[in-house]
Chain A
C-alpha cells in the first residue's frame, strides 16, 4: 500500500503542469499531487512529482504519465504501509558525518 511516491519525470511543455497534476489527482487512491518544475529546456522540462494518497497504484501513475507524453526518469522516494515514515538523519548519512 503506497502512501507517498516521489518521481523524477521528463515531460514536454504541453500538456502543462496544471493538466498533468489534475490528471494525476483524479486517479484512484491519489489524494494529493505536487508538481515542481526544476529545469526547462527548449522542448522538454524536468519535474519532481510528489503524490500522496491512501493507496497509490504505481502502474496507474506510470500509465497516466505515459499517456500525457511524460516519462519517469527515476523513482526517488516511496513511502508504503499503514503510516508514512519520514526520512531521519542517522550517523551513517554523509551530511551527519560532516
Chain B
C-alpha cells in the first residue's frame, strides 16, 4: 500500500483530523501571537539590530515547536492508549498489531507533529521580514511594521479558516482573531508612547 494512502487510512480510522485541526489553529495562533509580542516588544525597547529579533524569535519557535510536539504527543498517546484498552476489553483480544493499534500510534505522532510544526511555522513566516532585512533588502524600520502586518494577517487567515470549517461568516471569524492581535499591538504601543 502506498505511503500516503496508508497515512490517509490511519487518519480516517483514528479520527485524528478534527483534533489535529484544533491543534493547528490553536498553536499557529500561539506562534503568530508570540512573534507579534517579540516584535512589538523589540520596537518598544528601541532595538535596532534585526538579529536580536531573529534569534529571540528562533529560540521561541524552537521552544514552542518542541514543547508542542512533546505535550501533544504524550497527551494523545495516553488518551489513545486508554481508548484502545477499553476497546480491547470489549473485543477480548489484543489490538496492538491491528490497523487500529497502528492508527492509534500514528495519531499520537501526527498530533505531536501538527502541534509542534504549526507554531514554529507561523513564527518563521512572521520573522521573514527580519531575515530579509538582515540581508539588506530593506531597513529594520520597515521590517517591524511588515512583520506586525504579517502576524496580524496570519491571525486573520486562521480566523477565516475557522469560519470556513464551521460554515459560518469567514470575515467575522477572521476579524475576531485579528482583534486579539490588535489588543496586543495596542497595549505595547500605549506602553511605548507613555515611556
Contact = CB atoms under 8 A, between A and B. Distances in A.
B171 interface: no
A14 B84 CA distance: 12
Contacts of B97: 67
B90 A66 contact: no
B91 A67 contact: no
Given A12-B100, A15-B99, A43-B86, A69 B15 contact: no
A68 B12 CA distance: 13
B15 A12 contact: no
Interface residues of B, number: 16
Contacts of B91: 10, 12, 43-44, 69, 71
Interface in B1-24: 9, 12-13, 15
Contacts, number: 41
Contacts of B194: none
A36 B9 CA distance: 22
A41 interface: yes
Interface centre among A14, A19, A44 (most CB of B within 10 A): A14
A71 B93 contact: yes
Contact of B98 (A10, A19, A67): A67
Contacts of B100: 12, 14-15, 68-69
A69 B99 contact: yes
B87 interface: yes
Contacts of A10: 91
B86 A69 contact: no
Interface of A: 10, 12, 14-15, 19, 41-44, 66-69, 71
5 A-B pairs with least C-beta separation: A69-B98, A69-B100, A43-B90, A14-B13, A44-B90
Given A12-B87, A66-B93, 5 more contacts: A12-B90, A12-B91, A69-B91, A69-B100, A69-B101
